[in-house]
Amino acid sequence: MEPAGEPVARPSLVQVLAHPDDDLYFINPDLQRALETGHRVTSVYLTAGEADGRNIDTRDLSRMDGEPDFEGYAEARQQGLRAAYADMVTGDRESEWARDVFMFSTGVTVDRSTLVAAPHVQLVFFGLRMIDPESEFPDDDVLPVQLTELWNGEISAQPTLIAAESPLRRTQEISKDGLLRSLVELLHRARPDQFWTMDPDPWHTDWNEEEGPKSSDHHDHTATAQFALAALERYIGEGGVPPLVDNCVGYGNKHWPSNLTEDAWAEKKRVLNVYTSADGHVCSRRYCGDRQLSDGADIRRYGWSTRARYEGGTDWLHLQADGRLAAYAVLGGRAAVWTESKPGSGTWDGPDLLPGHGLTPALALAPDSTGGVHLVGLRRTPGPDGQVDVEVVRMWRQAHTGEVLPWESVGNPNERSEDWRRCREVGVPEAVAEPTGRLHVFMRNFGSGVSARRETDEGWGRWEDLGGRNIQDCLTAVLKSTGRIELFAANRSGGVHWYQEAVYGPYKLQDGVTSADPDAWRPVGGLTPVQIGRSRMVFFYREEDSGEVLCVRQRPDGRWNGRVERLGGHGGTGRIAALRQQNARQDSIVLARRNARNRLSTAVVATQGQGETPQWTDHDVLIARPPALALDHAGRVVVAVMGPDARVRVMRQATRDAAEGFGPPTVV
C-alpha cells in the first residue's frame, strides 16, 4: 500500500481473498501474467487460514495424533505464499521480503509483506480467525467463529490470530464496519484498475428444504466476496475510480470441464509446490510452507480451471446506426461506454458511466430495429442479515444522442420460490431483440437448466422453462436473417441448441450437438455461433483440457456434422469471438481469442470450410476479457480488447481484406 496521492505509473491490481493460497489455486495463471508484466499487485487475505493447526499432509493417516499449532500453521502458510510470489516475480523463492505492521485509521493493524526486489508487490494479512466447530482446540474458552457470521451480523466482532513470526504483538477484535472501512482505506491507497475477489453467489451441489443449499464453495470464500464488493462500492461512492472487476470461481471448478491445458496446469502446480514446500528445496526455516497439501494438488480438481463466475461474451463491440462503433463494459458495478468520435476516425470518447450501480461484471448487448441497443445485466442488491436480491435488469440506449432509459427490472426465473438463496443462483443473462424490436432474455436458472422471458405487447411475459440440464453458464443467442432466434450453450457432456421453427414461435431443444465425434473432448465455456447461409449455422468453442478451437458445421437438413474441425489455437481461456466478412473476392470468418499468455490471437477461416488449420497471429496486447469483433462503417473488421488497466484497445483492418490482418492497436 503506497501512500495515497502518489502518481501510479503501472496498472494496479488489488485482490481480496479469504485464505493464503486462494489466488494460487483459483486465479493463477492470470496472477502470474500480471506479475510478469510488472503490475502493481496488492494481495489481501482476510483470515489467518489456521484450519486445524496441523501442518501435516492430509493423506497422512496419523496426522490427527499431532498437536495443533495454530500460530505455527498460519505462519507456514504465509511463508509459503511469500516464497511462491518471490518465485513468480524474481525466479528466486528465497528473495527477501520486508515485513512490518501497518495501521489503518480505523485502528486495525495488519501484517504487511513487501517484496524488496519488487516493492510494488505487497501481501496484506488481516489474520481473522477461522475457528471451525469440527476442529479441536486446546482452549475450551475458544468459541467457533466464521467470517460468514461477521458478515451476517450474527457476531459483533471477530478475533484475530497472530502468526508465529509476525511483527504484530497483540490480537484484535475486528468489527464488520472496522473491516469494511479498513478495506476502503486500502483501496484509496492502491487505486486499483483491476479488482479480483471470490464468487459471492456460488452454485449449490445439493438442496435441503429445511437447511437450504449445500454450497459448492467454502463459506469463507463467499463471505470474503461480500466484504470485498461492499468495500468496493463504498470506495467508489467516496470518489474512487471504478475498476474492472472479476469474481473467481472456487471449489465449484471441480464440477465442470477443465479449461486449463496440461502445460498451464503444470505451471500452476509448480508454483503450488513452492507454496507447499514440495518443490525439493532444502528448508532452513522453522515454518516453510503449507504441508497439509504437500504435492497433492492434482487430486483437488478445482485447480484445473481458472474461470470467472460472471464470464462476459464477445458481443460488447457494437456498430451504431450512425456509423460509429461503441464498446461496452461494466466497471465497478456500473455500465460504461466508449464511443468513436466519428465513423472510422480512430479517436474515441469515454468511458462514460451510465446511471445505476450494483451490476455484476458481465453485460449483454441486443441491438434493435430502431438503431438503439438494449443493455442487459444482473444486479445484486445486498439486504439485511446477509441476504441479497439478485435480478435481471435492462437499460435501453439511443445511438445518436446517447440518451438512456432507466434500468428496468426483468425479474428472476426463480422468483416464484420467494427464496433469496435460490434467486441468487442464476447465471449471466443473454439477450437478443426479435425483428419487431421486442427483447428475449435467456439465463441459467437454479436447477441448472435455461429459462427465458420475452417482451409482448402487454409487457413482459412469464418466465419459460426451456429445459436443459447441467448447463455451463455461457449462453449465446443470435437473430438469424430469417427472423428466427437460436440459442447455444454447453452442458457437462456437449453442446446444446435451441431454435424456433417459426418467427416468434416456441423454442425447441436439440441436445448433443457436439457429442458425435469420439475424438473430441467436451466443450468448455460457451459456443459462438455464426450464420453461414439462410438456414445454416456454424459454431466455435474451446475443447476441454487442450483449449484448442473446434468448429462444428450444420448440415442443410438442420443436423450437425459428426466430425469437428480442429483449428489449432491451443491454450487460453474465455470464449471465442467470431465474425463473418463477405465481399466480392472472399467469404471468410475472422476469429479472435485470448491465448495462453493472456494476449490476443487472431485467425481467418473460410466460411464454407476447407478442412485446413488456419495460421494464428499473436498480438502483443495484454487482455483481461474475451475479445470482441465488429464491422465498422466501411465493412472493415475491428477487434476490441479490454486491458487489465481497464482501458479498451482496438485494432482495425486497413482494407476489407481479411488476409491483410490488423493494424497496430489504439488505446482508447
**Residue found by looking up cell 439465463 in the block:** 443
Contacts of 282 (CB under 8 A, 6+ apart): none
Is the pLDDT at 416 greater than 70, yes or no? yes
For position 140, what pLDDT does the model report?
A: 53
Mean pLDDT for 377-393 is 96
CA distance readout (Å), 224 to 116, 128, 159, 219, 498: 28, 11, 16, 9, 37
Share of the chain above pLDDT 90, in %: 82
Nearest to 132 by CA among 50, 46, 74, 21: 50
Q: What is the pLDDT of residues 270-293, one digit of tens each?
A: 999 999 999 998 888 889 999 998
Q: What is the pLDDT of residues 308-340, one digit of tens each?
A: 999 999 999 999 999 999 999 999 999 999 999
Share of the chain above pLDDT 70, in %: 97
For position 610, what pLDDT does the model report?
A: 67
For position 135, what pLDDT does the model report?
A: 57
> Residue 420 — very low, low, confident or very high, per pLDDT cuts 50/70/90?
very high
Q: Is 359 within 8 Å of 394 (Cβ atoms)?
A: no
CA 83 to chain centre: 26
> Residue 141 — very low, low, confident or very high, per pLDDT cuts 50/70/90?
low
> Residue 139 — very low, low, confident or very high, per pLDDT cuts 50/70/90?
low
Q: What residues are paired with 42 via a beta bridge? A: 14, 122
586 vs 640, which has greater pLDDT?
640
Q: What are phi and psi of 126, to 5 degrees?
A: -80, -30
Is the pLDDT at 136 greater than 60, yes or no? no
32 vs 132, which has greater pLDDT?
32
For the chain, report the end-to-end CA distance as a whole number of angstroms: 28
For position 476, what pLDDT does the model report?
A: 97
For position 412, what pLDDT does the model report?
A: 98
For position 1, what pLDDT does the model report?
A: 56
Contacts of 9 (CB under 8 A, 6+ apart): none
Q: Where are the alpha helices (DSSP H) in 392-490?
A: 420-423
Q: Is 492 within 8 Å of 524 (Cβ atoms)?
A: no
CA 554 to chain centre: 31
Q: What is the pLDDT of residues 154-170, one digit of tens each?
A: 999 999 999 999 999 99
For position 137, what pLDDT does the model report?
A: 53
For position 6, what pLDDT does the model report?
A: 41
Which burial class, exposed, middle or buried, applies to 141 when counting CB atoms under 10 A from its CB (0-12, 13-18, 19+)? exposed
Q: What is the pLDDT of residues 238-264, one digit of tens each?
A: 999 999 999 999 999 999 999 999 999
Q: Is 570 within 8 Å of 596 (Cβ atoms)?
A: yes
Is the pLDDT at 500 greater than 90, yes or no? yes
- The average confidence (pLDDT) of the chain is 93
What is the rounded distance in angstroms from the CA atom of residue 627 to the CA atom of residue 605? 17
> Residue 133 — very low, low, confident or very high, per pLDDT cuts 50/70/90?
low
Q: What is the pLDDT of residues 58-88, one digit of tens each?
A: 898 998 988 999 999 999 999 999 999 999 9
For position 8, what pLDDT does the model report?
A: 43
For position 134, what pLDDT does the model report?
A: 61
Q: What is the pLDDT of residues 631-660, one digit of tens each?
A: 999 999 999 999 999 999 999 998 888 778
What is the rounded distance in angstroms from the CA atom of residue 479 to the CA atom of residue 481? 7
